[in-house]
Amino acid sequence: MYQCFPTLFISFSTFLLDWRQPWKDLGSDRLEIFEKKLLRTLVLIIDERSLVSMELLGCAKHNAQTCAHGGTNRTTPWGGIAIVLAFGDDHQLPSINPGAPMAIVKVYKPSPKRSSQSIVKENIGREAFIMLTDHIKELTVSKRISSDANDLKNITSALRTEEGLEQNQVDQLLTLRLDNPKLSQERKEYVEDKAM
């Protein structure tokens, strides 16, 4: 009989981290809860990686190494969790503190105003982001933009370049605002219903 091993879809609340001081010790109660969550975990999936700071990822990795599989693999990256995947688009919203894009900067210097624990975890996170770039799959086609929406495809492509948007593209985007008097009521209702 085969035993099912879980994949843990991570929200950072799963790691029981205090977002203000993520490097803070979990404490025995939360450590026990976290160990149970990671006891048989073989795959970690981190979504929206652009929102994850190096410090937060470093704390997550440290805690996983401490707790995964009953803490039996503390010297192994991610505590021996076999597969760690990170999904996201670095051209979207960035994390509040330095994240994935800063991890690849050769000369990155953390702010001297931060605590030493924070800087140590940030360095662990930087190494983790670099490690997670060993195997990259780039999606070149958006699954959220319909195939016939060429203007929107061009706008999203332009946002990813140094040149940015042309004035007519900016004007086109501004016409989509809900407070635009030229936007039909039907379109407003559609956007309000479908938008997040």
Q: So what's the pLDDT on residue 2?
A: 44
pTM: predicted TM-score of the whole model, two decimal places: 0.73
* pLDDT tens-digit map of 133-145: 888 888 777 777 8
Over residues 159-172, the mean pLDDT reads 87
Low-confidence winner among 39-43, 79-83, 144-148, 184-188 (lowest mean pLDDT): 144-148
Low-confidence winner among 41-55, 71-85, 105-119 (lowest mean pLDDT): 105-119
Task: Supply the DSSP string of the chain, one letter for each residue.
Answer: -PPPPPEEEE-GGGGT--TTSTTS---HHHHHHHHHHTTT--EEEE--GGG-BHHHHHHHHHHHHHHHHHHTTTTSGGGG-SEEEE---TTSPPPSS-BHHHHT-SS----TTS-HHHHHHHHHHHHHHHHTTSS-----S-SSS-TT-HHHHHHHHHTTSSS---HHHHHHHHTTSTT-TTS-HHHHHHHHHH--
Q: Considering only residues 107 and 116, tell me which one the structure prediction assigns the higher pLDDT.
A: 116
Q: So what's the pLDDT on residue 10?
A: 54
